Amino acid sequence: MASEGAGTAQDLVRSFESLAADFSTEIAGLRTEPEIRLAQTRYLGKKGRATDLMKQLGRIPPGDRPAVGAAANRARESIEKLVEERLAGLAEALLAGELARSVDVTLPGRGRRAGTIHPLSRVRMEIEQIFLGMGYEVRTGPLIETEWNNFDALNTGADHPARDMQDTFFVEGGLILRSHTSPVQIRTMLAGPPPVKIIAPGNVFRRDDDATHTPMFPQCEGLHVDKNVSFEDLKATLIAFVQRFFGPQTDIRLRPSFFPFTEPSAEVDASCFLCQGKQPARATCRLCKGTGWLEIGGSGMVHPNVLAAVGYDKYDVTGFAFGMGLSRMAMLKYGVTDLRLFYENDLRFLQQFPAG
């Protein structure tokens, strides 16, 4: 019996050894984790081949059992190691496949493009930001105005020659379409005492319709009234503005002029930001046409009659006002050569002005 028992023990040890070899052969053909796990269960599970072999352990003499037990452990460890290696290899192959994927990054993004903001809005927003940064408030007013707000309060009486300078649209009820945004200055000053520090952007109307004039166009005016506001403050403010709008190298040039609502009055030129007003670039500069200067608007010290018209004490406060055409600013800033493009609303033009 001993020999039989010894034979059995040896057979059993051999069986455990072949168990691991069989498993190795079997999983070599398997491709997925579930298949491998299933195979592992068939060998090491409760009803697996290793369990079956262990059931024979009772027939082995107790002295031989430790050797069989050791063989069983070796087989289990070997199978578990095979499983681990195989799964790791599989995961690696999966990851490699995943990483092998690529896209054509040059195809466009999906979905609708963001829209665009009109250049006249853009330039207005930019100008507003600059003046907000200098402590101005943004004020607006109606398009349909009284003649008093538009002319009389602005030292432009019914027979004032300046009323010839701008041809006004009249509407029903004795009202007009405002010919500048200056009525917003009047409304603001009538609404409260000084100090006043505002800009007034908005559309205005004049009876002009040709290559360089449209019957409606946007303006932005500014007004600063307080004690001791001087012509020097006007100059400094205009310089600060043009340097933020056109660039830090920009200079201004004031030329004496005439507006009924300011005295002294000045035309405002900014130095050309393309050629910097310097030769030789200036001579061939298309933007400033060789002058080195770009006309940007009008300005001046608020006329005492205007202060008086809104009930301010003209001996106590002074102020300056300035105004500019936004179409012109947008043309300069964005290199637009034809004013009409702003009102044609051709998307192929407009879509060059991103919303950001």
Partner 1 sequence: MKISLNWLRELVELPPEVDAERAAAALTGQGLEVEGIEPKGRELSGVVVAEVLGIRPHPGADKLRIVRVRAGKREEDVVCGAPNVPPSGNRVCWAPPGARLPGGRTLDAREVRGVLSPGMLCSEIEMGFSEAAEGILILPPAAVPGEDVAKVVGAVDDVFEVNVTPNRPDALSHLGIARELAAHFGTRVRLPEVDQVPEVDGGLAMDVDIVDAQGCPRYTARFIAGLSVGPSPISMRLRLAYCGMRAISNVVDATNYVLLETGHPLHAFDFDRLQGRIVVRRAREGERTTTLDGQERGLVPEDLLITDARGPVAIAGIMGGATSEVSAATGNVLLEAATFEPRSIRRTAKRLGIPSEASYRYERGVDANGIPFASLRAASLIAKLGGGSLVRGTVDRFPRPPAKVTVPLSLTKLRRVSGVDYDITFAIQQLTRLGMGCKPQGDGLLVTVPSYRPDITIAEDLIEEILRMGEYGKPARKDRIASNATELANPEGSADRARRLLAGAGLSEIVTWAFVSKAALAAISGDGKDATLGQGITLRNPISADYEVMRTSLLPGLADALKRNLSRGVADAWLFEVGPVVRRAPGGDATPVENNHAAGMLAGRRGGWLKPGEPLDFYDLKRVVEDVLRGFGIADARFVSPGAEPFLHPGVSAQVLSPSGAALGCLGELDPRVLRKLGIDSAAFYFELQVAGLAWATASLRTAAPPRFPAVSRDVSFWIDLATQAAAQRAAFLSAAEPLLCDLGVLEDFRDPKYVPAGKKGVLWSMTYRAADRTLTDAEADDAHQRVVAALAAAFPIQIR
Interaction residues for partner 1, span 221-240 (CB under 8 A): 228, 230-233, 235-240
Residue 25 or 337 with smaller CB distance to Zn ion: 337
Q: Any contact of residue 174 with partner 1 (CB under 8 A)?
A: yes
> How far, in Å, CA of 238 to CA of 269, rounded?
10
Kindly calculate the radius of gyration of the chain based on its CA atoms and give it in whole angstroms.
Answer: 44
What does DSSP assign to residue 172? G
Q: Which of Zn ion, partner 1, none does 274 bind, CB closer than 5 to 8 A by kind?
A: Zn ion
- Structure token pair of residue 224: 């600063």
Site for Zn ion in 256-315 (CB under 5 A): 272, 274-275, 285, 287-288
Q: Any contact of residue 75 with Zn ion (CB under 5 A)?
A: no
Site for partner 1 in 256-285 (CB under 8 A): 256-258, 260, 263-267
Site for partner 1 in 308-347 (CB under 8 A): 318, 342-347
Q: Any contact of residue 133 with partner 1 (CB under 8 A)?
A: yes
Residue 56 or 305 with smaller CB distance to partner 1: 305
Residue 37 or 314 with smaller CB distance to partner 1: 314
What does DSSP assign to residue 194? S
137-138/196-205 β-pairing = parallel
- Please count the residues of the chain: 356
Of 28, 113, 192, 283, the one binding partner 1 by CB under 8 A = 113
> Which sign does the torsion angle of CA 156, 162, 164, 166 carry?
negative
- The residues that bridge with 87 in the sheet, in sequence order, are none
> How far, in Å, CA of 312 to CA of 196, rounded?
11
Whole-number minimum distance, CB 223 to partner 1, in Å?
15
Of 171, 190, 191, 308, the one binding partner 1 by CB under 8 A = 171
Site for partner 1 in 293-312 (CB under 8 A): 301, 303-304
The answer for residues whose C-beta is within 8 angstroms of residue 245's C-beta and 6 or more apart is 126, 127, 130, 329, 333
Q: Which of Zn ion, partner 1, none does 341 bind, CB closer than 5 to 8 A by kind?
A: none
Q: Any contact of residue 93 with partner 1 (CB under 8 A)?
A: no
- Structure token pair of residue 271: 């130095």
Residue entry with tokens 């503005």: 241
Q: Which of Zn ion, partner 1, none does 128 bind, CB closer than 5 to 8 A by kind?
A: partner 1
User: How many C-beta atoms lie closer than 10 Å to residue 244's C-beta?
Assistant: 17
Whole-number minimum distance, CB 135 to Zn ion, in Å?
32
CB 235 within 8 A of CB 255: no
Binding site for Zn ion (CB under 5 A): 272, 274-275, 285, 287-288
